[in-house]
Structure 1
Amino acid sequence: MPDWLALYYDDPIEITHGEGRHVWDSAGRRYLDFFGGILTTMTAHALPEVTKAVTEQAGRLLHSSTLYLNRPMVELAERIARLSGIPNARVFFTASGTEANDTALLLATAYRRSNTVLAMRNSYHGRSFTAVGITGNRGWSPTALSPVQTLYVHGGVRTRGPFAHLDDRAFIDACVADLKDVLGHTRPPAALIAEPVQGVGGFTSPPDGLFAAFREVLAAQGVLWIADEVQTGWGRTGDHFWGWQAHARSGPPDIVTFAKGIGNGMSIGGVVARAEIMNCLDANSISTFGGTQITMAAGLANLAYLLEHDLQGNARRVGGLLIERLRAVTAGLPGVREVRGRGLMIGIELVKPGTDEADPRAAAAVLEAARHGGLLIGKGGGHDSSALRIAPPLSLTVAEAEEGAAILENALRSLY
């Protein structure tokens, strides 16, 4: 395996099985899972409804590619099109979020006949050559080469940068002014791509309404809005089914990308776009593994479970309790700069005590301490991975939220 393939923990663990919100390692130790395989286990580990659907489909047919009719793919596409909010929507399935964002960029640049793309500072959109080219996070950008020209604008991080001291309204106005200034120095771009909540960037987000304000400026030049919902989709933010709905004054995005949670661990990604955009390509294209029967069976069962059990509502209720609990237990800790988030997508940013300087060593130490306490969390952030990332399955119970908060409190207090 390559040297750049990172593993968590000084003594890496092998996850062998899971159930509900818990997983077990090869030594038989049980952990409360607050990261869900990087936000992929959206409902629960070993969810019986998904397991049954996958098993039954595996007994019939695993795969045939998009060259043949595929009923599960059509059914899931119809459901996602209705849920997307995009009029006259078309859905194309991929095998990952990276590939979904690649496809969205292909569509936007072909439709607009422009290879210029606007992206947010501190953003992350995947690990392909094109996705790296629009990623605004230095820690995840191994090359400056790119097939697109990328221009980065302000707004993804509310509490850092030149506009951090402003109130929300003034912050939005300043970011819009910055956007207008950028647009004044270039030919009209193809699209703006943005995560409603920046995932790898440390679960940071702008004030509600920022992207609606951006949209009003961009629409005047025909520039498309791509919402990267790979981490924020399917109700994870609690208040909304899609992250873009916090910025809904100007209606839905032109393109939405999704992945991770919809498959509950199966490899599903995809793009939703208006038919005129999706159909703009004038060359052949297929997907060998996008929309394969077994992943679509998992997606259908998982989405049905999520909607029938109102896991978005659970993310709002339990996530709200968890955020307040974490704010309470971290109050007064000198290395905790901020507890932020929406629903079950929560970040804790750590700094060197008495400064505003990021502290990645502290984040790594808390990750280790939480693991020894029986809790798995993630880390990220645009400042050298100094933010703890908390994103449990959306079926998390109040008791499990309290248990996880207590373990995190102990882990933080062992350091401060």
Structure 2
Amino acid sequence: MSDDLLARTRAVLPSWLAIYYDEPIEIERGDGRHVWDADGNRYLDFFGGILTTMTAHALPEVTKAVADQAGRIIHSSTLYLNRPMVELAEQIATVSEIPSAKVFLTPSGTEANDAALLLASTVRRSNQILALRNSYHGRSFSTIAITGNRSWSPTSLSPFQVYYVHGGQQYRSPFAGLPDGEYIAACVADLKEVLDQTGGDVAAFIAEPIQGVGGFTSGPDGLLGAFAEVLRERGILWISDEVQTGWGRTGEHFWGWQAHGATPDLVTFAKGVGNGLSMGGVIAPAAIMDSLPANHISTFGGSPLTSAGALANLHHLLEHDLQANAALRGPALFDGLRAIGSPIVGDVRGKGLMLGVELVRPGTGSPGEPAPELAGAVLEACKRRGLLVGKGGLHGNVLRIAPPLSLTADEAAEGLAALVAAIEEVTP
């Protein structure tokens, strides 16, 4: 069945759609932290549909909210009053910690970042954008234009003039090995030099607190706050892309930006809040959000159906303090991965339930040559052991580990054992 479906997929969908595994699987159903394929095989899910199944598969509260709403009305658009959308926006504004927050809901993180770029460039009357090297912000024309990772940027054409600065990752940085304070100082100096060359007419700086597609990389805590001091001296807006880091996934904070000692001007979000429903959005102070001088709507953003499901999901997350669970479960996984001591593990990094394992070719020094072939082999070995993990990084050599935030202690131990065995299996 999967062979037939793969052939049909390749026949009608674009060739550039990436699909995992030598023998791809069709995920047919899920429950909690597990999914089953069409052949009845059961997997522990340590990737959550790219960090999107945030709480649990088939979460009863979300299922019921969606079913109840579908029985009333599925769609209306933002041209009409929409109670679920308003209730969700109110809840998001409350937890955002953005002063006088307003929320614009979109169907995806790509559209959320599009909207943030529109707001920032309108306010600043500039199309110049600062971004981090190794970054990823979406698949639209504008978000590809500010993506600093060649693996996900198929065109050099752009509606923006983009400048890339250091700071998105330490392991392969030219500043690698510096103590955190010196690393931050070096990155701030680089930022200032870039700004001096632009003439200062920059609309915004956009950054993921932990780079997702880039391989769960980041600079030290406090880096983005140090950047913010420089940016605000020049009136430049800071957009925090929380599509993957938001909602408590890092364990220590609800938002990734909170580790940096300053508050961004705009926050974008998506993925986890919908728990699989198409939901994203932008949070900004009213002065920024209300700045567009023309009409604007969203046909699908904040639909009654997705808003009802996302609100139920967010309530479950808060009521069960899943951020605390991420803080509890993450260190056991992190420490277990660090303890492997394998010559193919170059780096283990991340926070909470957002962990990256960078694989390298043995004997190639430090930081080591990227080993995408080993990452692919580990992915397959995990699958054989009933574990789903992700893959990323500029070179495709980083394992991405991001289970639902309701992960139990037994499931964490089970997943860690499978992952360790898979790494040991492929180690030369």
For normalisation by structure 2, the TM-score amounts to 0.95
1:183 equivalent to 2:195? Answer: yes
2:245 maps to 232
**1:6-31 C-alpha deviation (Å, 9 max, x unpaired):** 10001000000000000000000000
Which whole-Å CA distance do the structure 2 matches of 1:77 and 1:129 have between them?
27
The 10-residue stretch of structure 1 (93-102 or 156-165) with the greater mean CA deviation from structure 2: 156-165
From 271, 293, 299, the equivalent of 1:282 is 293
1:412 match: 423
Partner Cα distance (1:40, 1:305) in 2 = 15
Given candidates 362, 370, 376, the residue that maps to 2:388 is 376
User: How big is the shift at 1:350?
Assistant: 0.3
Kindly state the Cα deviation for residue 159 of structure 1 after the two structures are TM-superposed: 1.6
1:352 aligns with 2:361: yes
Instruction: Give the corresponding residue for 1:204.
Output: 217
The code of the aligned residue for 2:169 comes to V
Q: How does 1:107-146 map to 2 (within 5 A)?
A: 107-146=119-158
| Correspondence 1:334 to 2:343 | yes
Instruction: Specify the alignment match of 1:3 in structure 2.
Output: 15
For the residue of structure 1 that corresponds to 2:197, the secondary structure is coil
- Give the structure 2 partner of residue 172 of structure 1: 184
The alpha-carbon deviation at position 320 of structure 1 amounts to 1.3
Structural mapping, 1:264-303, within 5 Å: 264-303=275-314
Q: Could you tell me which residue of structure 2 aligns to residue 305 of structure 1?
A: 316
CA offsets, 1:240-277, max 9 Å, x none? 000000002x3x21000000000000000000001111
Work out which of the residue numbers 414, 421, 424 in structure 2 matches 1:403.
414
Runs of 4+ in 1 over 4 A off after TM superposition: none
Q: Counterpart of 2:403?
A: 392
Letter in 2 for 1:237: T
| CA distance in 2: counterparts of 1:369 and 1:325, whole angstroms | 18
Q: How far is the alpha carbon of 1:165 from its aligned partner?
A: 2.0
Q: Which amino acid aligns with 2:351?
A: R
Distance 2:352 2:223 in 1: 19
User: One-letter code of the match for 2:114?
Assistant: D
Q: Could you say which residue in structure 2 is the equivalent of 1:64?
A: 76
Give the aligned length.
411
Of residues 326, 329, 333, the one that matches 1:315 is 326
Provide structure 2 residue ranges, at least 5 long, that are not aligned to the other structure: 1-12
Please state how far the C-alpha of 1:327 moved relative to its aligned partner: 1.4
Q: Distance in 2 between matches of 1:326 and 1:338?
A: 10
Task: Report the Cα offset of residue 402 of structure 1.
Answer: 0.4
Which of 234, 241, 266 does residue 255 from structure 1 map onto?
266
Deviation of the 1:187 alpha carbon: 2.8
Q: What SS does the corresponding residue of 1:117 show, helix, strand or coil?
A: strand
Superposed CA deviations along residues 268-316 of structure 1, whole A, max 9, x for unmatched, are: 0000001111111111110000000000001110000000000000000
Matched ranges for 1:23-38 at <5 A: 23-38=35-50
Partner deviation per Cα, 1:129-166 (whole Å, 9 max, x = no partner): 00000000010010011100000000010121211121
Correspondence for 2:96 among 84, 93, 97? 84
Output the amino acid matched with 1:408.
L
Look up the SS of the partner of 2:346 in the other structure.
strand
What residue in structure 1 maps to residue 352 of structure 2? Answer: 343
Residue 20 (structure 1) aligns with: 32
Task: Give 3-state SS (helix, strand or coil) of 2:111's partner.
Answer: helix
> In percent, how many aligned pairs have the same letter?
67
Matches for 1:152-163 after TM superposition, within 5 Å: 152-163=164-175
TM-score of the superposed pair, with normalisation by structure 1: 0.98
| Deviation of 1:175 (Å) | 0.2
State the one-letter code of the partner of 2:61. Answer: E
Q: CA deviation at 1:237?
A: 0.3
Letter in 2 for 1:300: L
Quote the Cα distance in structure 2 between the aligned partners of 1:284 and 1:116. Answer: 24
- CA offsets per residue over residues 311-349 of structure 1, 9 Å max, x none? 000000011111111212x21x11100111100000000
SS at match of 1:184: helix
User: Equivalent residue of 1:63, what SS?
Assistant: coil
Residues in 1 aligned to 2:219 and 2:75: alpha-carbon distance in whole angstroms:
41
CA distance in 1, matches of 2:219, 2:314: 28
Say which SS state the counterpart of residue 18 (structure 1) adopts: strand
CA offset at residue 205 of structure 1?
1.0
Secondary structure at the aligned position of 1:185 is classed as helix
Letter in 1 for 2:198: T
Q: Does 1:98 align with 2:129?
A: no
Instruction: Select the residue among 204, 224, 227 that pairs with 1:214.
Output: 227
